[in-house]
Amino acid sequence: MNKKKAFITGINGQDGSYLAEHLLEKDYEVYGIVRRNSIAENQESRIDHLIGKGVHTEYGDLLDVSSLERMLGTIKPDEIYNIGAQSHVRISFDVPQFTVQTNALGVLNMLEAYKYHCPKARFYQASSSEMFGRSVEEDGYQRETTRMEPTSPYGCAKVFGYNIVKHYRHAHNLFAVNGILFNHESPRRGSNFVTNKVVKAAVRIKLGLPDGLELGNMDAYRDWGHSKDYVRAMNMIMNHNTPDDFVVSTGVTHSVREMCDYVFGLLDLNYKDYVTQNPKFLRAEELKYLKGDSTKIRETLGWKPEYTFETMMEEMTKHWMKIYE
């Protein structure tokens, strides 16, 4: 029996690398595209340990249609996971055009290549809680039926991607689905994202390395889960019997301030002695609150997170302690 083949954009990112590991454990053959980086050592650092073990990569880009068509036409994958994106919300204010091209037009490029070269495959789009923006239900949650009012170029582009996937599903009878993922982190998260930024700085301070920590809005509340739990959800959504869209979240929120207090507390430090606010890290329009209702995926597919906020932050702290020690 032939192995199922999966194609992943953004395979060298946090989610892509965990997803590749998860699919290998389920005996998939995994393919992905990586964007060329002038520092070759960093290009595939998150998946170096997987090369030669069932993971194959080639250069490509969501904005280079020929690379997408070449790979999908040659591989003929069974499952396509479009995880690649300009993924930093704050930076989307600095590079709005690139963000929209990658996160909106890039989805359309993928869908067109998918439609023409392997329409029997299944397609997953990495949608985002940032699409909800300032819109919150009366009970404090955001769910599949919540109105979308994004507050960033990133969120706006993701709304387009979400809707164009639904359009292709209905217009072209494709198995195309959205996972509306709330914030998810891990030791593999880039250190310019707030979770790893906080953990890395706290560990350096604990070890006596010269460092301080400048943050933006410390009273922003987010629903933080672990990337490992969320890539499991992606695969479950793809293998559901009908194409559908699901919110993936923990249903628990914490503020950036609470996160600082917890992480520094793990190291017997008081965050107030080290953390300052820098206006350059504030967004042009702040998004104060996100909390997801994942009842649908829990009841329909039986998914539930294995990590808590606390165990995730502890894992990340131990990771950076090991690196610096």
Instruction: Catalogue the active-site residues.
Output: 128, 130, 154
**Bridge partners for 20 per DSSP:** none
CB 9 within 8 A of CB 84: yes
Strands (E), 67-142: 79-82, 122-128
Q: What share of the chain is helix, strand, coil (3-state, %, to 5)?
A: 45, 20, 40
Count Cβ atoms within 10 A of the Cβ of residue 101 and give its class: 0-12 exposed, 13-18 middle, 19 or more buried. Answer: middle
Is residue 141 left, alpha or beta, with left meaning phi > 0 and alpha meaning psi from -120 to 50?
A: beta
- In whole angstroms, what separates CA 228 from the centre of its chain? 11
With both helix axes pointing from N to C terminus, report the angle between 309-324 and 256-266 in degrees, rounded to the nearest 10.
50
Q: Which of 35, 26, 68, 92 is nearest to 234 (CA)?
A: 26
CB 3 within 8 A of CB 31: no
